[in-house]
Amino acid sequence: MAMGVGMSEEGMRPVTELSRTEAVAEWADLVQAVLAANQAYHRDDAPTISDADYDRMKRRLAALEAAFPDIEATMNQQSPTSMVGAAPADGFGKVAHRLRMLSLENAFSDEEVTEFDERVRRFLGLTDAVAYTAEPKIDGLSLSLRYEAGRLVQAATRGDGELGENVTENARTIRDIPQSLTNAPAVLEVRGEVYMSHADFSALNQRQAAAEEKTFANPRNAAAGSLRQLDASITASRPLRFFAYAWGEVSDPLATTQAAAIARLNTLGFQTNPLTMLCAGPEEMLAHYRRIENQRATLGYDIDGVVYKVNDLALQARLGFRSSTPRWAIAHKFPAELAWTELLGIDIQVGRTGALSPVARLQPVTVGGVVVSNATLHNENYIAGRDSKGNVIRDGKDIRVGDWVQVYRAGDVIPKVADVDLDRRKIGAEPYVFPQVCPECGSPAHREAGDSVRRCTGGLICPAQAVERLKHFVSRNAFDIEGLGAKQVELFFKDTLLPVKTPADIFTLAARDAANPLQKLKNRDGFGDVSTAKLFAAIEAKRTIPLDRLLFSLGIRHVGEVAAGLLARHYSTWSAFEAAITHATPGSPEWADLTAIDGVGAVMAQSLVEAFQNPAERAAMDALVAELQVQPVVARGAVDSPVAGKTVVFTGTLEKMTRAEAKARAEALGAKVAGSVSAKTDLVVAGPGAGSKAKDAERLGVELIDEDSWLRLIGE
Ligand code: IVH
């Protein structure tokens, strides 16, 4: 299973031990979890998981993708490892970044930094040292400023990296952002971080509290909340600052090195970080990291690590990008922050798939400047001192109510319990007994073999599962019904006059309301003519829904957005899908057809079949579909390039670039790079010394070209 929110990494099976089916299922789950976290963080400014958990999920995804390199391509879904952030919030105009705004790969140890340098040199085929800049990683939000003819014409947030929000008017109110530049390139996009100093942050919170307005959890949230005000005069009243550290489109290069380019930005009038240093290699980079770490507490603003960038811009260009991060930079993160406090109790929350998640209720404690009173305890094993595979963690120490526990936070709102102090354990403290029945519906809660998560077996009869399923159903990537969010769903779920217990009930809401002459929805508190009409119209608008969205919305375990897309493109219509899954028992032709979809394994197939065989689930789906017009989905077209969709094999010695560089270029152009030649290969690019693969190509009649012809073909 996938590493759910807050689960420990120690518990994960090494990716090399996973079957492809398991890897794909885990990948699909993780993609969902990361996408949801992205939305919460970037779009809603309301993180739902800690940075450390997020980083761990992304690392696991990256590990899965490294071990099964074709996962992303075969699932036909972009992995969050190759995306940045979330789509922009409503309310601001959208801006398409001419050059994507990227994210950074993370390193958490000295070794990972050394490995980064080795990777860079290997990619470039260099044995000599490479120089890097090292500078603080500012904990704020990134902003791109476009200057044309020296005038600030547009400011945009990162958004999902491709589409950001137009916050030009707000940015104009920031003192550190020049309105005009002299001696600048005709077109210049300056990128950097908007942040708030500690002093300004606490003063702002005091003002907010005095005015009985919302206070902010930390300076980053305050900066994000202040920049993304629809009323720019509010932004103007907030003390925001800006450091420039990168650039996007430029009509003339700023310089030939990173360090000189930053110096040039400084000359142009931007604040650049005074702790930026040029380093001759990993040793100096790590020494500068320690220096910055030592100054961290006295800087007066939040930083969460150190960013290293290849200094030579020509080398940066050769290194290029992975799907969402540059190969020429890495963020070396600081370790998370810790505090000790008392565990007052353990609550159990029941999720959409029935997972019972233990939550620690804590004596409130400040961890890295934020007051924490809840933390995740992951699962039953974790409380007992075991990882999800049953191996001993924390020296086997279990966690009991009343214990002193160490709380760990990596910059975000859902912290974790990391350790327990046995010396302070109270006499008579009893081991925690994990409930064997669902606290919400009383159904037995089971653990499947090899799964560390106990799940309620109540399915849709469990109110907690049912309501979480509804929340998923209306969520942004599912039905996304305006005016019907998680809060409203909870209210309707409990409503006695107009109850919504299953998705189909949403689509009968208007008719039921019309049929009830007494208590009309529009006469209730919080509704009214306009909002009721709007809600009903929004529901009507979603009666027509594409098959892939519908499949995702059903909330079937293991069927995330990626899988929903695969299934929809394979079956195209609801009736074909429904007929197939209804008959797909293991061994049947339908089962063989289902599991033959690249990216659909036995785990997902089983989960689909079980959902269709469960009478309550089936009834809910049938009732829903009866209310809808499901739009068929057709397969996608390919990227526009001469090699898009082609399978290419490189063999022999390449002379103009390393194999890694060639592969990266080809993939960026939409080609699939394979390791061996088969009848499916479209093209073999052979350098000197090509052996059996070139022969295979001839034998199979596959087109064979040399490196120069390849470069001509791709227009280099
Ligand atoms: S360079 C192509 N430098 O960190 C690389 N980013 O985790 C562009 N950040 O999106 C980023 N301080 O918002 C860079 N000195 C720094 C940074 C920095 C903070 C942020 C930035 C980026 C995120 C990636």
Per residue in 94-142, pLDDT (tens digit) is 999 999 999 999 998 999 999 999 999 999 999 999 999 999 999 999 9
Average pLDDT of the residues in 136-155: 96
3 C-alpha to ligand 1 centroid (Å): 26
Average pLDDT of the residues in 144-155: 96
| Among 513, 493, 510, CA closest to 501 | 493
pTM above 0.75, yes or no: no
pLDDT of residue 48: 74
Gap between the Cα atoms of 129 and 529, Å rounded: 70
Gap between the Cα atoms of 236 and 623, Å rounded: 52
| Among 413, 302, 373, 581, CA closest to 5 | 413
Boundaries of every domain in the chain:
1-80+336-474, 94-333, 481-541, 546-631, 647-713
331 C-alpha to ligand 1 centroid (Å): 8
483 C-alpha to ligand 1 centroid (Å): 35
| Catalytic member of 58, 94, 137, 672 | 137
Q: Which residues pair with 326 in a beta bridge?
A: 321
pLDDT of residue 57: 83
Which atom belonging to ligand 1 lies closest to the Cα atom of 139? 19
Are 310 and 321 within 8 A, CB to CB?
no
Question: Fold match between 546-631 and 647-713?
Answer: no
pLDDT of residue 7: 37
CATH code for the domain defined by 647-713: 3.40.50.10190
Gap between the Cα atoms of 117 and 129, Å rounded: 9
Within 10 Å of residue 294's Cβ, how many Cβ atoms? 9
Q: Is the pLDDT confidence value at 476 over 70?
A: yes
Which atom belonging to ligand 1 lies closest to the Cα atom of 309? 1
pLDDT of residue 3: 38
Right CATH for 94-333 from 3.40.50.261, 3.40.630.30, 3.30.160.20, 3.30.470.30? 3.30.470.30
Q: Is the pLDDT confidence value at 6 over 80?
A: no
Ligand 1 contacts (CB < 6 A) are: 102-104, 135, 137-138, 142, 193, 245-246, 307, 326, 329, 331
Q: Please provide the average confidence, as pLDDT, over all residues in the chain.
A: 89
Q: Which residues pair with 371 in a beta bridge?
A: 366
In eight-state DSSP terms, residue 460 is G
CATH architecture of the domain 546-631 equals: Orthogonal Bundle (1.10)
Which atom belonging to ligand 1 lies closest to the Cα atom of 102? 2
Average pLDDT of the residues in 256-270: 97
Relative orientation angle of helices 20-38 and 561-571, to the nearest 10 degrees: 120
pLDDT of residue 84: 55
Q: Which of 104, 144, 271 has most ligand 1 atoms within 8 Å of its beta carbon, as the pocket-test mutant?
A: 104
* Protein residue with its CA nearest to atom 15 in ligand 1: 137
Q: Is 695 annotated in the active site?
A: no
Within 10 Å of residue 13's Cβ, how many Cβ atoms? 14
140 C-alpha to ligand 1 centroid (Å): 9
